[in-house]
Structure formats: structure tokens, C-alpha cells
Chains A and B, each alone.
Chain A
Amino acid sequence: MEQALVNGLVLGMNYGLIALGLTMIFSLMNVLNFAHGQMYVLGGFVTYFALNTLGVPYIVAVLLAVLALAAVGLLFEYALFRPVRKRSNREESTMLLAAGTALLLESLILLFFGEKQRGVPPVASGVFEIGGAFIPASRVLVFFVALAAIILFMMFMRYTRPGRALRAIAQDREVTALQGVNIQAYSALGFMIGAGLAGLAGALLITVLSVNSGMGTSISIKAFIMVMLGGAGVIPGAIIGAFVLGFAEAFGYAFIPSSMTYLLIFVGLIIFLIIRPQGVMGKPWG
């Protein structure tokens, strides 16, 4: 019981990073980023590569993963999403473009890193015991790094000039443009931050759960669940959704078979959305 509680807390914090990135990209660009799960997987693999082949310390590997994914985000936004948005008659095209980039990333990951399951050894040794639950030190570390990242991200969005601009764009693109905000540059920045958060989540979680090239889609679906639970495009909502899913998963895995856990989560989600279509904190029809 306590163990499941602690696992849920660690999982929820990391899922928060994934959900925040997805929400960021969604609210800014109106793009449902199907490639988010693959971005997470790539983050994990970059970390693995940096640790095993380059032999750098873990903290550098994490930074490398964040930077690599931010670069991928920038490239996608600049080279793919921007031209398609300009040319297409329908907004949904970008969503399907995202599905294309998901496949592209997945095949690139497969080519470069193979199909093997990859994990990295725990970064910190030792085990803490709190009220009957055992927590490996590396999980504690992962928890606090994720917490710090989320706090930093929230502060960035709340108090800095670019953060304010990003929030304004999410609220009303046209009006923000009229205020003289460079929408193009901030869209690119938003995409970079979103992708970077996915990379950070991958880099942190690879120490706890290993990654393989085929798991991207299921991570994306998890991210969608969190975003739907909390309300699409709402930052606190994404974090709520992440914790709900993290706890549901941790408790489910502790007490019932794993494929049943997700079935119940999905059924619960569908019932919840029928009752409250906009999620916990979303605007109706966001």
C-alpha cells in the first residue's frame, strides 16, 4: 500500500513532465503531438548513448537529451509544421503531420539504436525506508529533479517575458500578434520547450523504467489520457492528470493484472469524459 503510494508519486511527477510538454505544444500550436511518445523514447536513448558510448556523467547526459530533443522540436517546427500550417486548408493536417513525424522518429530510433530494450544503471545507490515503503535513492533523485523542472517551468511561464508571451499566444493568437509579439519565434520556442520536456522525462525515467523503440505510441496515449483528464491546454490540469494516472497505474499494478489495469483506466476515463467532457480544468471544447 505505502509502496504503491510512493511509486505513484514518483511516476506522477515524471508523467507530469510528459503531460506538460504535450500541453505546451497543444495550447500554443493547436497541434496534437502524436510524436510526443517517440520524443520521450528518443530522450531515453540519447541518455543511454551518452552514458555508455560517450561515457559522460549522468547530469551531462540528461542535459544532452534535453538539448537534442529541443533541437528536434525546433527542426520539426521550422521545417515541417510551419510550411504545412501555411499551405493547408485545415488545421487537422498538422495533427496528421505529427503522426508522420512519429513514424519518422520511430524508424530513425530503430535504425540508430536497434530494437533492444535499453536501461541505464541507477544513478544513486542506497535505499530509503519511509513508513514501510522502500524507495531506491535513484527514484528519490528522479523525483526531485522532475519536481525542480516542473517548478522552474511554471516560474518561467508565470514570471518571465517569454513565458507571458507564450501564455498570451495560447489564449488568443491574433490579439497577441497585434500586440507586436513575434508569433513565429515564440511558436518555435514553445515547440522546443515541449520537446525538451519530453526529452527530460525520457532521460529521467530511463533510470527507473527502460525504453525500447516500439513504446512511443503507448507513451503518447498515456500523455493524451493525462491531458484529457486535466483539460487540454491547461498547465495545472496536465499535472493533475499526470498524478491521477501515476497513482492509478501504481495502485493497479500492485493489486490487479497489468492489462486489466489499463482497461479499467480507459473505461474510467471514458465515463469521466462523458460526465465532464472538458476534463477537470479545461475550457469547454478547448
Chain B
Amino acid sequence: MTPTRRKALSFATFALAYLVIVPLVLSGSPYMLGVLSMSAALSVIAMGVWVTFTIGRINLGQAAFALVGGFTAAILTTRFELSFWIALPAAGLVSALVGVVLGLGILRLRGVYFAMITLSLSETMRLALLNGGDFTGGATGITSIPVPGELSLFGLVIIPDFAGSHSHLAFYFLSAFLLLASVVLVWRLMDSRLGRVFASLQQGQELSQSLGINITKYRLIAFGVSCFLAGIGGAFFAATQQSIYPGSFVASDSISFTLYCFLGGLAYVGGPVVGAFLLTLSFQFLHDLQQYQQLAYALIMIGIMMWLPNGLLSLRWPSWGRKTTSPASGETGNVQ
């Protein structure tokens, strides 16, 4: 079997399990479904950070774009009374647009400068929304966002109203769909010519430029995709929580998104997903430790960094495994 087919097969198996078995087992536990939905949304946002990594930039501003997406969806659904199904893609697009405009300036920065400026961006966006007056609701944010309504096409109901008795399950399926779609999107992206161009930007942008590649354009594309994913995740967050505040995503969340990518493994499309699920779930399971919860969480994080600095997926799996070879150099250019 070729690696691509094996990957497709393992992805299909995972998708089937995630869409059928997990909801069957957990249908009686809204709490667990909620945790999984949140993990999936965080994975989508973290995947955006991962895309920025492929062009050799450390993006610590993802919280800013998740906020843009969340607020766009919230404003569209409450102020303009648009359907969530229009607001969701709109949130992604607005976020991507904001990203491209900002990216025109900041993508020139490299290394730690880019990391630091994007981290400041997380904080800037929070403050901008805080000072947004009536439009963004200031510190009180936007509350009582309606749950996604019915989506029908030519009189045919495609997605039922979320307000029914199984709204947890509905949100779970929505999150699962967003997660799987993002994985496919990013995976296809990396497999295409675009992915190779991104890798060339990471490995040496002067050389790519000398080969006639318009590096500004490709950097903006990568950053736009990254912000789009953040916007989608943020919009989902706003819909599940039915509220959004300037403090919903802050600078430390930005750092967490980057951590998810590192913990999962930067060389793998699935890295951010594994990282996000692992850390979100372990934080929930550590709840019983009460005041030691955060300490234990920090220790787990440091432990993985110490013993698996190239990510969890860099563990070699036995022959049936998904990842049989480890990347030669650990560059994200060698996408597995």
C-alpha cells in the first residue's frame, strides 16, 4: 500500500470511529461530548498555527483571530439576525481578511520578532474589543447568541435545529465535521504544490525568492488559511458557549495553541489535533486534583517536552502504525 493510501485509510478509520462509535458510547454523557467538541474546535484553531509553522513562522497571535471569528459570528447572528450557517463561513472569511491585512505588515518580521509581535497582537485584539463600545459590547461581550437553527435547501432539511433535546450531540457532530474537514483541507494543502512552496519558504526564503517565487503572496496565503481556521474555531466557540467576551481568547491561549502543535509533533498534520485533545482531556481528567490541577498539567507539558521534544507522534508506532518513519530533520517541510 502506498503511504498516501495508508494515510487515507487510517484517516477514514479514525473518521468513522469518531463519527459513529464515540457518539454511540458517549450519547448519555453531555459533559464528555462537550469536552470533545471543545477539543475539536481548539484543534481546528491550533491547526492554523501549524500552517503558519510550515512557512517558518511562530504564530502566537491565533487568539486574536479566534476572537475576530467569534465576534463576527456573534455580531452577525445577534445584531443582523443572520443564520449561523452563514455566519460561520463569514467568520472564517472576515478573520482571514483581517489576517491578510495585518500580515502585509507583520509577515516581514521573522523568528522571535514575529513571535513577539503576534503575541502582542493577541493582547491588542482583546483591548480593541474591550474598547469597542456598543458594537462589541465592551467588557460584557456579547451574550445570548442563538443556537444554530435549521439549515434547509429547496425545502429539504439538511441540518435540523440545534435547539432540540440533543443539542450536545448536534454540537459534537458539528465540531467533528469541522475537525475532519480542516484535517482534509490542511492535508490536501500540504500535498499540493502550495505545500511545497510553503516548505521552501521555511527552509530558505531568499532561495525561493531567487527562483521567482512571489514570497509575499504565498506567505499571505498561508497566514490567511491560518486565520481562517482560527475564525471558524472562534465562531464555533461562540455558538456553543452562546456568548463571547474579549477575554474568551487571550495571549496564554495563543501560547497553548502553539504548544498543542509542538506536543503533537510539528512534522505531522495530525500533530495539533493530538496535542489539543491530549492537553484538553488531561486538563479535564485532572479536575479531581483541585488546586494541584494546574501544577500537574504544567508537569505533564514539561515532561512531554523533555522526553519527546519532537512531539508525541515522533514515537515510532509498531508496523500497523500510522507513522512508520520519523522525519529526517524534524522540519515541518517533511510533512508526513
Contact = CB atoms under 8 A, between A and B. Distances in A.
Interface string A21-55: 00000100000101000000000000000000000
Contacts of B294: 103, 106-107, 110
A100 B301 contact: yes
B259 A89 contact: no
A72 to B, nearest CB: 14
Contacts of A224: 116, 119-120
A93 B259 CA distance: 9
Contacts of A267: 124
B262 A96 contact: yes
B123 A221 contact: yes
Given A95-B115, A101-B302, A103-B297, A84 B124 contact: no
Contact of A80 (B108, B302, B327): B302
Question: How extensive is the interface on chain B, given as a class?
Answer: 35 or more
Interface string B109-125: 11111011101110110
B325 to A, nearest CB: 14
A103 B266 contact: no
B291 A270 contact: no
Question: How extensive is the interface on chain A, given as a class?
Answer: 35 or more
Interface in A44-86: 80, 83-84
Given A95-B58, A224-B116, A228-B116, A260 B330 contact: no
A270 B127 CA distance: 14
Interface string A214-234: 000110010011011000100
B120 A266 contact: yes
A116 interface: no
B184 interface: no
A277 B108 contact: yes
Contact of A93 (B119, B298, B309): B309
A274 B306 contact: no
Contacts of A95: 58, 112, 115
B330 A89 contact: yes
Contact of A99 (B128, B255, B309, B327): B255
Contacts of B119: 221, 224
B37 to A, nearest CB: 24
Contacts of B165: none
B221 to A, nearest CB: 20
Given A266-B123, A266-B127, A270-B120, A32 B112 contact: yes
A263 B120 CA distance: 10
A92 B302 contact: no
Contacts of B86: none
B209 interface: no
A90 interface: yes
Interface in B289-324: 291-292, 294-295, 297-299, 301-302, 305-306, 309-310
A161 to B, nearest CB: 29
Contacts of B109: 273, 277
Interface in B262-305: 262, 266, 291-292, 294-295, 297-299, 301-302, 305
Chain A interface helix/strand/loop/mixed: helix
Contacts of B108: 274, 277
Contacts of B310: 88-90, 93
B131 interface: yes
B82 interface: no
Interface string A255-286: 00101101100110111011001100000011
Given A221-B123, A262-B127, A270 B117 contact: yes
B335 interface: no
B103 to A, nearest CB: 11
Contacts of A83: 306
Contact of A260 (B106, B131, B301, B302): B131
Contact of B302 (A90, A100, A225): A100
Interface string B13-26: 00000000000000
A108 interface: yes
A79 to B, nearest CB: 9
B115 A32 contact: yes
B115 A104 contact: no
A270 B106 contact: yes
A95 B117 CA distance: 15
A259 B305 contact: no
Interface in B126-143: 127-128, 130-131
B302 A104 contact: yes
Nearest to A269: B120
Interface in A102-154: 103-104, 106-108, 110-111
5 contacts: A89-B331, A103-B301, A106-B294, A110-B291, A266-B120
Given A100-B259, A273-B113, 15 more contacts: A88-B309, A90-B310, A90-B331, A92-B262, A93-B305, A96-B255, A104-B295, A224-B119, A262-B123, A263-B130, A266-B120, A266-B127, A269-B117, A270-B121, A274-B106
Interface of A: 26, 32, 34, 80, 83-84, 87-90, 92-93, 95-97, 99-101, 103-104, 106-108, 110-111, 217-218, 221, 224-225, 227-228, 232, 257, 259-260, 262-263, 266-267, 269-271, 273-274, 277-278, 285-286
Of all A-B residue pairs in the complex, the 3 with the closest CB atoms, nearest first, are A89-B330, A88-B309, A266-B124
